[in-house]
Amino acid sequence: VDYSGRSVIVVGPSLSLHRCGLPREIAIELFQTFLIRSLIRKHFASNIGVAKSKIREKEPIVWEILQEVMRGHPILLNRAPTLHRLGIQAFQPILVEGRAICLHPLVCKGFNADFDGDQMAIHVPLSLEAQAEARLLMFSHTNLLSPAIGDPIAVPTQ
């Protein structure tokens, strides 16, 4: 499936509850279409071929533009099996080194996740409506209580 990925999760205690660390190599693939459009609009590339070449060569301007693109674009993280609505939540991605997704430990309970090798799927909402819905309804810092019983879910578990 386009605009999706999967990786192992690792702890990121310095992250805010609404942020996740997205590996650079995954981010450049997930946001490639948006990145190409931005490179052309900002006149760093004259056409799609030149933009793809800059991305392939990982020129420094690519990382700067990628951060700009990601700043306004939420992503969805999902840990299977998704048994309730907290199994998929929205986050604001930031670039990190390595190959693992970084998560704040307090958001793990909603996913029923831990850091012993669990994997999560990443999805990029494409339409403006989907992005707005992710920001409004699915951001992790707005899902602090269990929808079923009202108990806090942002609690230390590790």
Task: State the DSSP string of 9-63.
Answer: EEE-TTS-TTEEEEEHHHHHHHTHHHHHHHHHHTTS-SSHHHHHHHHHTT-HHHH
Mean pLDDT of 68-73: 93
Nearby residues of 138 by Cβ (< 8 Å), 6 or more positions away:
74, 76, 88, 89, 90
Mean pLDDT of 92-118: 90
Bond preceding residue 81 cis, omega within 30 of 0: yes
Instruction: Read off the pTM.
Output: 0.86
Domain 4-26+73-142 has CATH 3.40.1190.10: no
Give the C-alpha separation, 148 to 30, whole Å.
33
Separation of CA 108 from chain center: 15
Contact 47, 8 (CB under 8 A): no
Sorted by where each begins, the domain ranges of the chain are 4-26+73-142, 32-71
Give the C-alpha separation, 61 to 51, whole Å.
11
- Residue 144 — pLDDT band, cuts 50, 70, 90? low
- Residue 35 — pLDDT band, cuts 50, 70, 90? very high
- Residue 54 — pLDDT band, cuts 50, 70, 90? very high
Average pLDDT, the chain: 89
pLDDT recorded at residue 154: 64
Query: What is the residue type of 141?
Result: H
Q: At what angle do helices 48-56 and 32-41 cross, to 10 degrees?
A: 120
Between residues 7 and 72, the one the model is more confident about:
7
- Residue 109 — pLDDT band, cuts 50, 70, 90? confident
Nearby residues of 31 by Cβ (< 8 Å), 6 or more positions away:
66, 69, 70, 73, 124
